[in-house]
Amino acid sequence: MLHTLRAHSVALFRHIGAFLLLMAEAVRSPIYDRATYRQNLARQMRQIGVESLPIVAVAAAFTGGVTTEQTIYQMRYPLIPESTIGAIVVPSVILEFGALITAFILAGRVSARIAAELGSMRIGGQIEALDVMGVSASGYLVLPRVLAGVLTFPLLYVVASTVGSAAGLGIAAASGDVTTAQFLAGARSFFTGFMAVYGLVKAVVFGFLITAIPCYVGFHADGGARGVGRSATRAAVGACMFVLVADYLLALLML
């Protein structure tokens, strides 16, 4: 048991070291063709950000609606003011649900795709071909994807928080238990600028994790077609796990 735990610990630190080396190499690598690099970055931002907008908005709307319904159910007491519902729903969406739900969606949609793409390129020999041509594979393949995640995830978080809060407001008004004015009064009474800053910090960190982790996993894929499938699964699961760890650490450090 102790031997197995030691072996897993050593493997974990080895992967962390290799991950950091890959990220450092990607950042330091020179950009040979700026036009091609910009096109690659724009394509990744479209695939990660724009194409994820519909599913993120739908998930955020249902999350805001369910949170509102559950809050209304638990707040049906005569001594609790109706504005408390807005004071609970909106901060919950901004502080936690907006970023976390978006991260889980992108971990399943984006992380698996990135790992599968890079894994196929590794197994097909395309990454080695780039190295032979003198092009930094990490700079050309990894950095644009990570930058796209860091740049677009905060925008997706803003959309998710806005849609989730609006859906909560709509469900609250439709329920008849709380008016729009009461919901907004409660939301304004507890909202602070720090909530938005905290949420954006989480969004940047999550955007890095859900793109950098699958880049590392796909970059080191092996085992043929089966290895590509394993890489996609590991990337999605690993991104979710590290997002949860980062979520806890950020709450511990910033709240």
pLDDT tens digits for range 161-208: 999 999 999 999 898 878 899 999 999 988 888 999 999 999 999 999
Cα 202 from Cα 173, distance rounded (Å):
30
Give residue-wise pLDDT tens across range 107-136.
988 999 999 999 999 998 898 888 888 788
Q: For residue 63, which of 55, 53, 75 has the smallest C-alpha distance?
A: 55
Domain hosting 171: range is 2-254
Confidence band, pLDDT 50/70/90 cuts, at residue 225: confident
| Counted domains in the chain | 1
Kindly state the tokens that stand for 144: 């644009």
Please, which residues have CB within 8 angstroms of residue 97's CB and are 6 or more apart in sequence?
60, 63, 64, 67, 160, 164
What one-letter code names the amino acid at 165?
A: S
pTM for this entry: 0.92
Q: Which residue has the higher pLDDT, 36 or 101?
A: 101
C-alpha distances out from residue 81 to 23, 120, 130, 195, Å: 51, 57, 64, 23
